[in-house]
Amino acid sequence: MLKRTLLTVMAFALMAGGTASCWNNGTPSPTPTPTPIPGRAEEVAEAFLLAWERNDYGLMYGLLTLTSQASITQEGFAHTYQAVAAEATITSVQAQLRAALQEGDQAHVAYSVTMNTALLGSLDVENEMALRYEGNRWGIVWSPQLIFRQLTAGNLVHLTPRAPARANIYDRNGLGLAVEGKMVTVGVVPGQIKDEAALLAELSQVLGLAPEAIQAKYSGFRPDWFVPIADISVEQSQAYYATLSAIPGVAFREKTVRAYNGIAPHAVGYLGAIPAEELPDWQALGYSGDEMVGRSGLERWGEPYLAGKHGGTLSVITPEGNVVAVLKDQPAVASRSVYSTLDREFQRKVEELLGQRPGAVVVMDPRNGQVLAMASYPRFDPNVFVGGISNEKWQALLDDPGRPLLNRAIQGTYPPGSVFKIVTLAAAMEGLGLTRQFTFNCTGWWTGLGPQWGKPCWLRSGHGIIDPVSALTASCDYSFYEMGLLLDGMDPLLLPDYARAFGLGQVTGLDGFAESPGLVPDNDWKLQALGEGWAPGDSVNLSIGQGYLLVTPLQVARLMAAVANGGILYRPQLVLKVSAGPDSPELVVEPEVMGQLPISADTLAAIQEGLAGVTTSRRGTATHVFAGFPISVAGKTGTAQVAELESDQQGTEPHSWFAAYAPVEDPQVVVVAVVEHAGEGSRTAAPLVRQILAAYFGIEDTLSPLQGQGD
Query: Read out DSSP for 520-565?
Result: ---HHHHHHHHSS---HHHHHHHHTT-TT-BB-HHHHHHHHHHHHH
Sign of dihedral through CA atoms 172, 174, 179, 182?
Answer: negative
**Whether 206 contacts 256, CB under 8 Å:** no
As a whole number of angstroms, the distance between CA 261 and CA 274 comes to: 24
Closest by Cα among 613, 572, 128 to 374: 572
As a whole number of angstroms, the distance between CA 54 and CA 59 comes to: 10
* 185 CA to centre of own chain: 29
**Burial class (CB within 10 angstroms; exposed 0-12, middle 13-18, buried 19+) of 663:** middle
As a whole number of angstroms, the distance between CA 202 and CA 247 comes to: 9
Other beta carbons within 10 angstroms of residue 484's beta carbon come to 26
> 372-391 burial, b if ≥16 CB within 10 A, otherwise e?
bbbbbbbbbebbbbbbebee
Q: Is the peptide bond before 378 cis (omega within 30 degrees of 0)?
A: yes
> 115-137 burial, b if ≥16 CB within 10 A, otherwise e?
bebbbbeebebebbbbbbbeeee
Sheet holding 359-364, edge to edge: 371-377, 359-364, 669-675, 655-662, 634-640
> Is 418 considered catalytic here?
yes
As a whole number of angstroms, the distance between CA 243 and CA 101 comes to: 75
**Whether 184 contacts 231, CB under 8 Å:** yes
* 494 CA to centre of own chain: 35
As a whole number of angstroms, the distance between CA 48 and CA 695 comes to: 71
As a whole number of angstroms, the distance between CA 127 and CA 183 comes to: 48
**Burial class (CB within 10 angstroms; exposed 0-12, middle 13-18, buried 19+) of 700:** exposed
Question: Interior CA angle at 465 toward 461 and 471, to 5°?
Answer: 85
As a whole number of angstroms, the distance between CA 567 and CA 16 comes to: 95
Closest by Cα among 496, 489, 543, 546 to 521: 496
Question: What number of helices (H) and strands (E) belong to the chain?
Answer: 24, 27
Helix axes 421-431, 536-543, angle to 10 degrees: 120
Report in angstroms the alpha-carbon separations of 566 from 366, 597, 659. 10, 9, 17
Q: Phi-psi region for residue 317, left (φ > 0), alpha (ψ -120 to 50) or beta?
A: beta
Given 418, 470, 543, 579, the catalytic residue: 418
The dihedrals phi and psi of 253, each to the nearest 5 degrees, come to: -140, 130
**Whether 633 contacts 673, CB under 8 Å:** no
3-state class of 503 per DSSP?
coil
Which positions are catalytic? 418
